């Protein structure tokens, strides 16, 4: 619900602002010092090295939660009648393994574990969007005010890391780096360069082929750079839109009893539909990662 004294616009902006820690720039009253940004302008002025503490916190916590739960199930796995936890984990592992076998034609023992990690981690990150938008931010405000003596209007706390483009790019760039690494390793520098310069246009006439090289390189290089962009922006765009809808629905609770009841119905309906969205986005991110790794392992004849 909108905080006391906040307009709808201020409420939305507050929910879309990350808890940002960075170095205050020149011209600021605290220039040269490190601290928390009090508004979006200060966060922007902190520049590249600023850290979104809330995004880092939830990303790490959920990653550790995934490792802990799956490790616990693996340690307690039995060949006898399995429990519900083991059944669920085995089903997830078999599902991911089947997806990898269907989309990856190379031989690399790292791809399946990476796909499993991406699917579960992204799903857990997305799942945070189903928690009512005010619960955790209000808890963070109480802690910030009563423990750290902060101004309640300066306590920002976003709980869905995938609504932060820094997080989605942070996940997409290592996938892109692995794709480049294995492209060089499997195809060699010459093979990778040929892939970028000899396709899609080719000719038996060497002079014509020479003229095609810059055109091919431009097209293939743009397509190459589009892979991490599409991987990150697709996840970010869908999750940001979902979060925005939840925030707009939450505003309805401050509009009276009738509007509040209607908002509750909308929230329930959107939450049920959003379960499909968060699962689908995790699956798409995983599948595209597998496909990109498969492309990196394909030789010139297979490509």
Q: Which of 87, 230, 232, 254 is catalytic?
A: 230
Per-residue pLDDT at 7 exceeds 90: no
Residues above pLDDT 90, as percent of the chain:
78
Nearest to 161 by CA among 236, 261, 76, 100: 236
Residue 203 annotated as catalytic: no
pLDDT-based confidence at 75, cuts 50/70/90? very high
The pLDDT value recorded for residue 255 is 83
Residue 107 annotated as catalytic: no
The pLDDT value recorded for residue 301 is 55
Sheet with 20-23: list strands edge to edge: 34-36, 20-23, 51-52
Contact (Cβ atoms closer than 8 angstroms) between residue 238 and residue 214:
no
pLDDT digits (tens, 9 = 90+) for 93-130: 999 999 999 999 989 999 999 999 999 999 999 999 99
pLDDT digits (tens, 9 = 90+) for 198-252: 888 888 888 888 999 999 999 999 999 999 999 999 999 999 999 999 999 999 9
The pLDDT value recorded for residue 5 is 62
Structure tokens at 33: 């010092």
The pLDDT value recorded for residue 183 is 94
**What is the SS3 assignment for 160?**
coil
| C-alpha–C-alpha distance, residues 47 and 42, integer Å | 9
Residue 39 annotated as catalytic: no
Q: Which of 40, 108, 234, 254 is catalytic?
A: 234
The pLDDT value recorded for residue 45 is 93
For tokens 């970028």, the residue is 196
Which helix (DSSP H) or strand (DSSP E) does residue 3 occupy?
A: none
| C-alpha–C-alpha distance, residues 57 and 161, integer Å | 9
The pLDDT value recorded for residue 300 is 59
Residues above pLDDT 70, as percent of the chain:
97
């Amino acid at each position: 619900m909108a905080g006391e004294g906040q307009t709808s616009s201020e409420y939305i902006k507050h929910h879309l602002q990350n808890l940002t820690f960075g170095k205050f720039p020149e011209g600021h009253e605290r220039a040269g010092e490190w601290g928390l940004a009090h508004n979006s302008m200060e966060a922007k002025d902190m520049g590249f090295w600023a850290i979104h503490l809330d995004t880092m916190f939830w990303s790490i916590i959920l990653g550790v939660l995934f490792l802990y739960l799956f490790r616990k199930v693996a340690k307690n796995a039995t060949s006898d009648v399995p429990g519900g936890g083991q059944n669920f984990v085995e089903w997830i592992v078999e599902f991911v393994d089947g997806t990898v076998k269907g989309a990856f034609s190379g031989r690399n023992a790292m791809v399946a574990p990476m796909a499993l990690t991406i699917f579960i981690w992204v799903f857990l990150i997305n799942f945070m969007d189903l928690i009512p938008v005010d619960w955790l931010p209000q808890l963070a405000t109480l802690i910030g005010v009563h423990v750290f003596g902060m101004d309640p209007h300066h306590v920002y706390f976003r709980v869905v890391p995938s609504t932060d483009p820094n997080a989605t790019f942070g996940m997409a760039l290592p996938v892109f780096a692995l794709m480049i690494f294995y492209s060089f390793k499997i195809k060699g520098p010459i093979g990778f360069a040929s892939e970028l310069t000899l396709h899609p246009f080719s000719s038996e006439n060497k002079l014509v082929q020479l003229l095609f090289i810059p055109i091919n390189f431009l097209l293939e290089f743009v397509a190459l750079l589009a892979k991490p962009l599409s991987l990150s922006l697709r996840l970010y765009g869908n999750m940001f839109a979902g979060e925005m809808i939840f925030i707009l629905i939450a505003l309805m609770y401050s509009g009276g009893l009738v509007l509040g009841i209607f908002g509750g119905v909308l929230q329930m309906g959107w939450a049920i539909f959003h379960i499909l969205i968060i699962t689908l986005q995790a699956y798409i991110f995983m599948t595209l990662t597998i496909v990109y790794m498969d492309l990196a392992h394909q030789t010139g004849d297979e490509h």
